[in-house]
Amino acid sequence: MPDPASNVNAEQATRQAFRQQLRLRRQALSQQEQKRASEQVSERLLDYITANSHQRIALFFANDGEINLVPLVNALWQQQRQTAAPILHPVCAGHLLFLAYHANSLMHENRFGIPEPVLRCDEVMPLSQLDLILTPLVGFDAAGNRLGMGGGFYDRTLSGWAQGRYPNLSVAGVAHDCQFVDTLPHAAWDVPLPTIITPSKTLSF
Ligand SMILES: Nc1ncnc2c1ncn2[C@@H]1O[C@H](COP(=O)(O)OP(=O)(O)O)[C@@H](O)[C@H]1O
Ligand SMILES: [Mg+2]
């Protein structure tokens, strides 16, 4: 009989292999390719946000070859839309907490070296106050499955949303086109994405 523990280990090893391969792909993009991806995806996201009248948008700061969303932030501020950014949750380990992000936000780097706003209680934006959360990802597939960096942070943070607790909240993944693979391994806790936006495509699942 197959040992269930060895199946779990095999699945983890497959995920790790995908992560390694896909992270290398995005790290290999040139500065010029990154700049173009950043401009194109920002334009596409702005169209999506405008079409859906989203006012309060959580985004992320690029790390490890992810797409730089600074052009989007500037465009959103020009349109008087509110932005938020995730921080590692100070109380619930493994979760994210969203804080308002504005031109005067005091920033620091978290333990992964990712910039985040310094915690201020009056800046907390619960999921119920957000219209859209943009998630980074390492890989996505033809069914909208998402592979992250391996911490499960977005899976935990979005599990209530995936169960229908925030019907007014939209979630969209942002990725380079080269993050695509036909089929990714996925587990019960993985939260799939209904929308993924790349420099060349706006995908719905
Ligand atoms: N909702 C959740 N509740 C408890 N643990 C979770 C939850 N979501 C993910 N995890 C745990 O986080 C770990 C990493 O998740 P994984 O999906 O592999 O990472 P990522 O989504 O970053 O690729 C897994 O071991 C998983 O058990
Ligand atoms: Mg996951």
Distance 153 CA to ligand 2 centre (A): 8
**pLDDT tens-digit map of 124-156:** 999 999 999 999 999 999 999 999 999 999 999
Output the CA–CA distances (angstroms, integers) from residue 42 to 21, 38, 71, in the order listed. 25, 6, 6
Evaluate if residue 6 carries a pLDDT over 80: no
Cβ–ligand 1 contact at 162 (below 6 Å): no
**pLDDT tens-digit map of 38-47:** 999 999 999 9
pLDDT band at 5 (very low <50, low <70, confident <90, very high): low
Residue ranges per domain, the chain?
A: 4-204
How many whole angstroms separate alpha carbon 11 and alpha carbon 13? 5
* 8 or 70, greater pLDDT: 70
Q: Going by CA atoms, what residue is nearest to atom 24 of ligand 1? A: 152
Q: Going by CA atoms, what residue is nearest to atom 13 of ligand 1? A: 152
Provide the token pair at 70: 């600074």
Average the pLDDT over 20-33 and give the result. Answer: 98
Q: Is 66 annotated as a binding residue?
A: yes
Q: Going by CA atoms, what residue is nearest to atom 15 of ligand 1? A: 152
CATH number of the domain at 4-204, out of 3.40.50.1110, 3.40.50.10420, 3.30.450.20, 3.20.20.70? 3.40.50.10420
Closest CA to 205 of 146, 132, 129: 146
Cβ–ligand 1 contact at 194 (below 6 Å): no
Distance 150 CA to ligand 1 centre (A): 7
Cβ–ligand 1 contact at 75 (below 6 Å): no
Q: What angle do CA 58, 40, 131 make, to 5 degrees?
A: 20
Percent of the chain whose pLDDT exceeds 90: 95
Residue type at position 139: G
Residue 71 has φ and ψ, to the nearest 5°, of -60, -35
**Helices 31-51 & 70-78 angle (0-180, nearest 10):** 30
- Contact between residue 14 and residue 21 where contact means Cβ atoms under 8 Å apart: no
Q: Is 132 annotated as a binding residue?
A: no
Closest CA to 131 of 68, 180, 88, 84: 84
How many whole angstroms separate alpha carbon 119 and alpha carbon 101? 11
Q: Is 166 annotated as a binding residue?
A: no
